[in-house]
Amino acid sequence: MAIFKKAEKKLTLNDIVLPEHIGIIMDGNGRWAKKRGLPRTAGHTVGAQTFRKIARYCSDIGIKHLTVYAFSTENWKRPKEEVDAIMKLFKEYMIEAINDFQDDSIVVKFIGDRTVFPDDMLELIEKNEHDSKDRTGMVLNIAMNYGGRDEIVNAVKTLAKDVKDGKVDVNDIDDKLLSDLMYTSGQPDPDLIIRPSGEYRTSNFLLWQSAYSEYCIMDVLWPDFKTEDLDKALIEFAKRNRRFGGI
């Protein structure tokens, strides 16, 4: 006698609880271009288009916080032509966002060391943050000139100065105090970090905040990343048993 098993229901976003905060390492732009015989800058251009699409999709489906890794403190080591192209795209995005997000509810924040940017870029960064600060929708953190170790070092320096100045007692230092000095202060830690491109490393991204984050490594280069890929990652996340060190 044949035994028929009941088919397992295929989950959709309507069946799951979404993570509150997602981090995405936007990786694979250069390799995407190389595979097509194009300059690496072409990969960054297409990757920027993917970023716009995915950011809006996250907002539309109800993600509350999205942090994207756009440019690390180590990326300055890349060829000048490539760095200049990335900075040009960054500037174009900031100009576009001022107008393009006027009717959106997205709050735009930039995390990282801003001291290296020229005055015109700093003005655009500050205008984007100012114009969006009263919105009530998804918080979009764009990590530019960002490094997790650098972030922790800066937090420790601030804390050391506060101890020296008598503002903080050394015995009162705890993880919350340090968390409040991170760029993402006031936001929940990421529940899920997605890394397209198939690489298995954190690349200095949200080192403090990701202590209990779930990782999803996806074998697709960032310019090819689609909303369907994000859905797969969210559904995979929903199946995981998060114990936070417990049983």
The span from the first CA to the last CA of the chain, in angstroms, equals 41
Residues contacting 92, CB < 8 A, separation 6+: none
- Per the structure block, which two tokens stand in for 246? 């417990």
Q: HSE on the CB side for 120, CA within 13 Å?
A: 6
Question: Which of 27, 104, 189, 229 is an active site residue?
Answer: 27
Tokens at residue 174, please?
């705890």
Nearest to 192 by CA among 25, 67, 22: 22
- The tokens for 185 are 């202060």
For residues 40 and 29, the answer to whether their CB atoms sit within 8 Å is yes
Closest of 195, 211, 221, 222 to residue 245, by C-alpha: 211
Beta bridge pairs of residue 12:
none
User: Active site includes 29?
Assistant: no
Per DSSP, the three-state class of 203 is coil
Nearest to 69 by CA among 179, 168, 159, 193: 193
* Cβ within 8 Å of residue 87, ≥6 positions away: 121
Annotation says 134 is catalytic = no
Query: Which of 75, 150, 162, 231 is labelled catalytic?
Result: 75
| Enzyme catalytic residues | 27, 75
